[in-house]
Structures are given as structure tokens and as C-alpha cells.
Amino acid sequence: MTNSNKTFYIDTLGCAKNDYDSQVLAAELMGRGCTLSDSPESADILIVNTCGFIESAKVESIEHIFSMAALKGETKKLVVTGCLSERYHEDLVKEIPEVDIFTGVNDYDELPDLLLSDNEVMADSVKGKVGKVLPYKERVLPNNSYSGVLKIAEGCNNTCAFCAIPKIRGPFRSKKIEDVVREAKVMAERGIKELTIIAQDTSYYGKDLYGHAILPKLLEELCKVDGIEWIRLMYVYDDGITDELIETIASNDKICNYLDIPIQHISDNVLSRMRRNSTGDSIRETFIKLRENIPDIHIRTTMLVGFPGEREEDFEELLEFVREVKIDRLGVFAFSDEEGTLSHILDGKLPEDIKEARRDSIMELQVGISEELNRKKIGRVFEVMVDEVQADGEYVGRTRYDAQEIDNEVNFVSKRVLNPGDIVNVEITEAYEYDLVGEEV
């Protein structure tokens, strides 16, 4: 085995979990003497970290694999990893012979040895074992990072009918609390001010290791880390939002009053067909309780329309819920029929045009709601984190109530010279459908 100062390039697709995995892999390779390249043309090893969650993501991943294959030539090694190659390993080996190695999401420990070996490696030779605990790993953070994701667990124990994630990523495995805190400290030392906490189901954290969910305790420990100013919670399921968690969020200034709760639907008929753990009433009660106990809480959610068996009255109930509850941040997806999921064999499939029309109806309704909620912010002062420096004292940032690259932005002016990651007070002067305008005060 040799490292021979090889250079590598990673093309990452999909969600923040894939970004995280790529950062871990980069650290492992750099620890063995390799150099991270910022262009595929100059790299010896090309790595595509794929997404395979829904059809559009699969198509995008395959397009990226072929574009890398076109650059490969005689000397480069091409590796495909991530969700797509975990899910469709055998098919991909047959269909894309240009790829030297296919590995899945649980094979990152084996991958560096294979990449740096001088021996020929068969494309289908890798299959790692799923450990019981998610271990601590070093990561390579992008230069000048001030916001970063912190993955506290891997896998999922839920059996949602539309989702292939448990098959792809395996059962839920938490990272030990001391390892999560250690990682947060390292991130803070490297300039990270905002932690975005992720897992497949964040509220489940600790059940596998400690016998009960301990997300509140983890948050209390993370709040003690010097240098971290904002802590943002993503992927918190309705059935895991306890009074203790609400109290922890409400009583700690570092924890953003922002919660991402993927509810998917509100109709009991659809929720039960989806095999969700929530009911329409439990979701409504959770929203009410959050807003009563954390008055300025901003809730983000995602909804899935056009699920098999979704009746017109189910959709109308969802539409009425959106109209009535006025959700702060909302994304809507049309159902994607994925082989290997329980929903693939359900009856009551809906035509594409109906699914898309239902998605569009909710998003059109949400545009007006978002603008109405934004207008209420005019005249108020908010903490804003700078994301982009533009010309002549103009900046783009976001409030505590907005996740980076997902939610709303604030365009503002300042008489000072600011840098990405700076947190300033901005008075809002104008409001639009999704963005705000203001000036530093």
C-alpha cells in the first residue's frame, strides 16, 4: 500500500448528511498524505458521493457519475459512494463499468485502504459492517466556515412507508454524548459559530445507547461550548417533542427558537397509510404547545402530497391546516414512487398531474402566508448572521429563524465592513414573499 501523495476530488450530492460523510472521508485521506483538489481535472482519484432518496436525486447522481467518467482517462480512479450505490449496488456495477469501486454509506472505513492500494480492486468488492455506535471522526471543514452541521446519529428505526432510508443507512445509531461535545468544541475552535444538529430523527437521540431519549441533555452540554452562538435543530419528529425539550429550547439563548418538524400530512387516513407515529391531533397539539411556550418559535416543516390513497377530502384537510396554522417555513413534495419501499405496493396511486397540482396549490397558498408573516417583521430589529458580502456596504444574511441555504434571507446595508459569520442587529424596513430588507442599527 502507498499514498504516493495522491490528490482526490469529491463531488457531493444530496443532503447535509452526505456533506458530513464527505468531510469525514476527506479527513481520513488527508491523514494518509493525500491532497484535496478543488477540481476533478487535477485529481488522481475522483469520488462521487451520491443521493438515492427520490427519482430526481437518482437521475442527478447518475448524470454526475457519467460526467466524472468522461474525465477519467487512463490514469484516474473513479469511485462512487453514498446512498445510490448502497441502494442499487448490483445494477450500477453492471451498467457503469467505467467505475472502479462502488461503495455504500456504511463502507467509509474500508474505502481509504482500497483507494490507496496499488492492487486492482473489483467494483463490487466492498461491503462494510454497520456498527452499533456512531464513532467520533475527524472532518475537513470548508475554509472560512462559520456555520456547520453536526451529525449526532446515523440510520433510522422508523418504518415510514415512503422512505428507503432505513434500508440504505441501517438502524438508528447514536454518537456518544461526550463525542458529540468533543466534535462541537473542535468546530468552535475552527471558527464555527452556528451548529445545525442533524440525524434522521433527531428526537430519538440516545434511546439506543442510554435507554431513553436525551436530546435535551445533549443540548444543555452543547450550550456550554465556548464560541458556539447559535444551535439549530433539524428533523425533530412530532412524537419526540417532549415538555422537557420545549423547556430546554425556551430557556437557552443559544438554541434558536426554530424547529424543523417533518409532519408530511395532517389527515389521519394518510398518516396511518404512511405508517407515521403521529396523528392529526398530536401534530396540532404540538404546534399549539410550542407556540404557547416559545412565543417567537418559527416552525419549518415538509409535507408530502399525492401519497397512494390520498382522497380529495384528505388533501382539503391539509390545505385548511396550512391556511389556519400559518406555518413559518414550508416545503412540499409530490409523492415519488420508490421501489423497495412499502408504499410501492400500495393501491390507490394517483396520476402525476394530480400530485403536482396538489403540491402547487399548497405552495401558492404558502406564498401569501409567508409574505403576511414577513410584513409583521417590518420595524422590528433582529439578529442577523452575515452569509454574503456584496458591493458597497450591501450584505445578505439570515435571522435565527432561518437555516442556511434553505430558508429566507435578509438583504441589508451597513456602514461598517462586515465578514461572513458576523452577527449584527438589523432593523427590517421592507418585506417580500420570502425575503426581508433592512439596515444595521
Residue 148: which region, alpha, beta or left (left: phi > 0; alpha: psi -120 to 50)? Answer: beta
Half-sphere exposure of 207 (CA within 13 A, CB side): 14
Out of 3.40.50.1100, 2.60.40.1930, 3.60.15.10, 2.40.50.140, select the CATH number for domain 380-440: 2.40.50.140
pLDDT given for residue 367 in this prediction = 97
Q: Examine the pLDDT at 3 and tell me if it is beyond 60.
A: no
In contact, 72 and 46? CB cutoff 8 Å: yes
128-151 pLDDT tens trace: 556 677 788 899 998 889 999 999
Q: Examine the pLDDT at 440 and tell me if it is beyond 90.
A: yes
pLDDT given for residue 124 in this prediction = 55
Q: How far is the C-alpha of 310 from the C-alpha of 271, rounded, in Å?
A: 10
Q: Can you name the CATH fold of 7-116?
A: Rossmann fold (3.40.50)
Q: How far is the C-alpha of 334 from the C-alpha of 318, rounded, in Å?
A: 14
Q: Where in the chain is the domain with CATH 2.40.50.140?
A: 380-440
Q: Supply 296's cell numbers.
A: 417567537
Q: Examine the pLDDT at 1 and tell me if it is beyond 60.
A: no
Q: How many Cβ atoms sit within 10 Å of the Cβ of residue 27?
A: 16
In contact, 18 and 49? CB cutoff 8 Å: yes
Out of 3.90.1170.50, 1.10.150.120, 3.80.30.20, 3.40.50.300, select the CATH number for domain 147-376: 3.80.30.20
Q: Examine the pLDDT at 258 and tell me if it is beyond 80.
A: yes
Please enumerate in sequence order all residues whose Cβ is within 8 A of that of 7, keeping only pairs 6 or more positions apart, or say none. 34, 35, 36, 37, 42, 43, 44, 45
pLDDT given for residue 357 in this prediction = 98
CA 414 from chain center: how many Å? 31
Q: Where in the chain is the domain with CATH 3.40.50.12160?
A: 7-116
Residue 160 is assigned to a ligand binding site: yes
Among the ranges given (113-127, 356-370, 413-427), the one the predictor scored with the smallest mean pLDDT: 113-127
45 - beta bridge partners? 8, 77
pLDDT given for residue 123 in this prediction = 53
Widest pairwise Cα distance in the chain: 66
Q: Examine the pLDDT at 122 and tell me if it is beyond 60.
A: no
Q: How far is the C-alpha of 283 from the C-alpha of 261, rounded, in Å?
A: 9
- Identify the residue with better confidence: 84 or 396: 396
The DSSP letter of residue 129 is P
What's the rounded mean pLDDT across residues 63-84? 88
- Give the SS3 label for residue 237: coil
213-255 pLDDT tens trace: 999 999 999 999 999 999 999 999 999 999 999 999 999 999 9
394-413 pLDDT tens trace: 999 999 999 999 999 999 99
- Please report which confidence band the pLDDT of residue 56 belongs to, taking 50, 70 and 90 as the band edges: confident
294-336 pLDDT tens trace: 989 999 999 999 999 999 999 999 999 999 999 999 999 999 8
339-350 pLDDT tens trace: 888 899 999 999
Residue 15 is assigned to a ligand binding site: yes
What's the rounded mean pLDDT across residues 361-373? 98
- Give the SS3 label for residue 166: helix
Residue 223 is assigned to a ligand binding site: no
Q: Supply 60's cell numbers.
A: 442527478
DSSP for 218-264?
HHHHHHTSTT--EEEE----GGG--HHHHHHHHH-TTEEEEEE---B
pLDDT given for residue 324 in this prediction = 98
